[in-house]
């Protein structure tokens, strides 16, 4: 049965008045007559031919019954054969003028494929890790987290396995890295290093560079994280009345619940402080709006611009005053909000916490609601001496 395109050409040929047009159509029809593709279904390999294949492919063809498709192509009186097969997620395709030579080329292609796979597997941990971070992880974390990941990899991971082939890294190699950190009391670093290696190995598996994750049998117990400790009201009063040159910045952190990594993003819009929420998991830039409450307002007065010192500077100066960390100021804000019965949704929004999938999608509270809730954030302090 003729296809529609051929019918159209025959009709056009019969009705064409121009001689050049008729000649062109005749040539096209002649070429199509000499063109034919016939699938011969499967390319059968003998046991001897299978024995010539790379060892890892012999099992696929002899036991698993993997077969290659072959088709006979006719072009202007010339005949050739094309063999195709998909294995291990890779397409293999060869062609030749005879079935015998097509088989030989197919077998050679398998050797080429194995050589390419071996070359890929020979990639070093450090090289793949840096590429994975640049192409994938960088899109999912903040710039500061990305820099910290590179620092931890360079300091704790690369010295041991950075120059080793991915497929030759053993569970013992990984265990030694984690044990070394744990023995030095660096439990948090051990957790972070474990997470980083796990992501890199999963990425290597996804790229077909290794088949198993060396961490699968590694013994690692996540260290117990230290929770923040809120300032007592006496300590809070001492902070309010202290003479530190960084007092104002401590109070902004104390009465807004900002994360230390968010300090340098703060700006003022009227009676609201705007800061970037640095803990968004989807990589999107988001901001939180925190009303200037009655505890902070007397200290800010008409100040509209802020220039926070570095986290390290603030940490050192706070530690001179109290046995507290910067995160303890955030813990204090959250604690006082609970004690003052601030609405939970308002508290989470000001803290930059998630409301859950449903809450994030369908909650859009007004500034007036936040201001009403922060007005509850007021309490008396003892003498700061």
Same domain, 248 and 182: no
Same domain, 299 and 349: yes
Same domain, 213 and 276: no
Domain-located, residue 227: no
Domain-located, residue 224: no
- Using CA atoms, how far apart are residues 96 and 98, in angstroms rounded to an integer? 6
Q: What is the mean pLDDT of residues 290-305?
A: 92
What are the tokens at 218?
């590694």
Q: What is the mean pLDDT of residues 71-96?
A: 82
pLDDT of res. 14: 52
CATH code of the domain covering residue 304: 1.10.443.10
pLDDT of res. 305: 87
Q: Which of 46-50, 101-105, 298-302, 359-363 has the lowest mean pLDDT?
A: 359-363
Q: What is the mean pLDDT of residues 250-268?
A: 94
Domain-located, residue 381: no
Choose the final residue of a domain: 119, 139, 158. Answer: 119
pLDDT of res. 36: 54
Domain count for the chain, please give it: 4
Which of the four pLDDT bands, split at 50, 70 and 90, describes residue 334?
very high
Q: How many alpha carbons lie under 13 Å from residue 35 in its C-beta half-sphere?
A: 6
Same domain, 91 and 211: no
* pLDDT score of 292 more than 70: yes
Same domain, 23 and 39: no
Expressed as residue numbers, the domain containing 2 is 1-30
Q: Which of 10-14, 43-47, 266-270, 377-381 has the lowest mean pLDDT?
A: 10-14
Q: Which of 112-126, 254-268, 281-295, 368-382 has the lowest mean pLDDT?
A: 112-126
Percent of the chain's residues with pLDDT above 70:
84
Domain-located, residue 5: yes
Distances 180 to 34, 86, 188, 199, 362 between C-alpha atoms, Å: 73, 45, 13, 20, 47
For the ranges 7-16, 21-30, 122-131, the maximum mean pLDDT occurs at 122-131
pLDDT of res. 12: 59
Same domain, 77 and 111: yes
Same domain, 191 and 166: yes
Domain-located, residue 152: yes
Tens digit of each residue's pLDDT (9 = 90 or more) over 161-174? 999 999 999 999 99
Choose the final residue of a domain: 63, 90, 119. Answer: 119
pLDDT of res. 227: 74
* pLDDT score of 370 more than 90: yes
Domain-located, residue 382: no
Which of the four pLDDT bands, split at 50, 70 and 90, describes residue 2?
very low
Percent of the chain's residues with pLDDT above 90:
52
Same domain, 18 and 54: no
* pLDDT score of 7 more than 60: no
* pLDDT score of 239 more than 80: yes
Same domain, 251 and 370: yes
pLDDT of res. 1: 39
Tens digit of each residue's pLDDT (9 = 90 or more) over 56-75? 888 888 877 788 888 888 77
Which of the four pLDDT bands, split at 50, 70 and 90, describes residue 321?
very high
- Between the CA atoms of 126, 127, 130 and 134, what dihedral angle is there, to the nearest 10 degrees? -170
109 vs 122 pLDDT, higher one: 109
Choose the final residue of a domain: 95, 119, 143. Answer: 119
pLDDT of res. 282: 60
Which candidate, 186, 134, 121, 123, places its Cα nearest to that of 156?
186
Domain-located, residue 379: no
Same domain, 61 and 182: no
Same domain, 73 and 131: no
Same domain, 9 and 56: no
* pLDDT score of 361 more than 70: no
pLDDT of res. 280: 67
Q: What's the pTM value of the predicted model, to 2 decimals?
A: 0.55
Which of the four pLDDT bands, split at 50, 70 and 90, describes residue 354?
confident
Domain-located, residue 94: yes
Mean pLDDT of the chain: 85
CATH code of the domain covering residue 187: 1.10.150.130
């Amino acid at each position: 049965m003729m296809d529609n395109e051929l019918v159209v050409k025959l009709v056009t040929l019969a009705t064409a008045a121009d001689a050049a047009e008729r000649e062109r159509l005749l040539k096209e029809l002649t070429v199509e007559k000499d063109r034919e593709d016939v699938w011969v279904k499967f390319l059968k390999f003998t046991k001897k031919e299978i024995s010539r294949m790379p060892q890892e492919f012999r099992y696929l063809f002899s036991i698993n019954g993997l077969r290659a498709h072959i088709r006979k192509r006719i072009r202007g009186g010339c005949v050739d054969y094309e063999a195709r097969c998909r294995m291990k997620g890779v397409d293999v395709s060869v062609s030749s003028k005879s079935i015998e030579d097509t088989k030989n080329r197919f077998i050679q292609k398998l050797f080429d494929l194995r050589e390419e796979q071996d070359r890929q597997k020979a990639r070093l941990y450090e090289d793949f890790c840096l590429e994975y971070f640049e192409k994938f992880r960088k899109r999912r974390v903040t710039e500061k987290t990305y820099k910290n990941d590179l620092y931890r990899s360079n300091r704790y991971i690369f010295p041991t396995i950075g120059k080793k082939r991915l497929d030759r890294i053993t569970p013992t190699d990984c265990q030694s890295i984690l044990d070394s950190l744990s023995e030095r009391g660096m439990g948090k670093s051990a957790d972070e290093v474990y997470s980083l290696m796990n992501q890199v190995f999963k990425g290597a598996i996804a790229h077909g560079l290794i088949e198993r994750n060396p961490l699968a049998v590694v013994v690692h117990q996540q260290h117990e994280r230290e929770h923040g400790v809120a300032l007592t009201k006496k300590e809070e009063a001492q902070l309010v009345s202290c003479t530190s040159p960084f007092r104002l910045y401590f109070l902004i952190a104390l009465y807004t619940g900002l994360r230390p990594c968010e300090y340098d993003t703060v700006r003022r819009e009227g009676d609201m402080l705007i800061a970037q929420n640095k803990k968004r998991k989807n990589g999107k830039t988001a901001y939180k709006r925190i009303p200037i409450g009655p505890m902070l307002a007397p200290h800010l007065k008409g100040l509209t611009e802020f220039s926070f010192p570095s986290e390290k500077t603030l940490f050192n100066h706070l530690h001179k005053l109290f046995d507290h960390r910067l995160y303890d100021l955030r813990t204090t804000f959250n604690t006082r909000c609970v004690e003052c019965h601030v609405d939970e949704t308002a508290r989470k929004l000001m803290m930059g916490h998630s409301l859950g999938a449903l809450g994030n999608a369908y909650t859009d509270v007004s500034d007036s609601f936040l201001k009403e809730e922060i007005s509850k954030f007021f309490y008396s302090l003892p003498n700061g001496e």
